[in-house]
Amino acid sequence: MGRSTGLVCGDDGWRIPDWLWERIAPLIPPPPVHPLGCCRRRVPDRVIMNAILLVLRTGMQWNALDATGIANSKTAHRRFQEWERAGVLAEIWRQGLLDYDEQVGIDWSWLAADGAITKAPLGGSKTGPNPTDRAKKGRSDRSSRRARGSRSGSTTRAPTATTTSC
């Protein structure tokens, strides 16, 4: 299910099990056709889905995938964007919720989600200026007369210490 080099060398217990892959695979759209009709062989979708779920599960950066040996980070990210646009991940989430509701049951009466990113309606002038503009006094380095590269303005340079072997 992927290369055996890198940090993840075998089945670590977090791979997509066969029964789940049988449900996910039909949701994945066919690969886009290359405009020239030629291309490298596509990395299997299951390998890429394992890589995507690793990133989503751990919060690791996409570029860190290269060190794991599971899949190339650019390939995984490109496929993630492709599948997100196609609605694959939303459909996996929807079907998972429906299955959970059927097996365990979701009591929607006590669940709530709320959020807002806006200014406080009654905040007024109490909030003050933007945090990036607060307490900026004095001149910037660009308008200063002192020499560039020196905060003190000194133009002398201290000699560099050298070491010798014994």
- Domain assignment present for residue 45? The answer is yes
- Model confidence at 97, pLDDT cuts 50, 70, 90, reads very high
Q: How do residues 128-166 score in pLDDT, each as one tens digit? A: 666 666 666 655 555 556 555 555 555 555 555 555 555
Q: How do residues 13-62 score in pLDDT, each as one tens digit? A: 778 999 999 999 999 999 888 788 777 788 999 999 999 999 999 999 99
- Domain assignment present for residue 138? The answer is no
Give the pLDDT score at 24: 95
- Domain assignment present for residue 121? The answer is no
- Read off the DSSP letter of residue 72: -
Residue whose entry in the numeric block shows the structure tokens 């990210």? 77
Is the distance from CB of 82 to CB of 27 less than 8 angstroms? no
**What phi-psi label fits residue 143: left (phi over 0), alpha (psi between -120 and 50 degrees) or beta?**
alpha
How many domains does one find in the chain? 1
- Domain assignment present for residue 158? The answer is no
Question: In terms of pTM, does the model score above 0.85?
Answer: no
- Domain assignment present for residue 73? The answer is yes
- Domain assignment present for residue 57? The answer is yes
Residue 148 CA: distances (Å) to CA of 136, 141, 151, 152, 159: 21, 8, 8, 10, 19
What is the span of the domain harbouring residue 75? 18-26+37-103
- Domain assignment present for residue 69? The answer is yes
- Domain assignment present for residue 94? The answer is yes
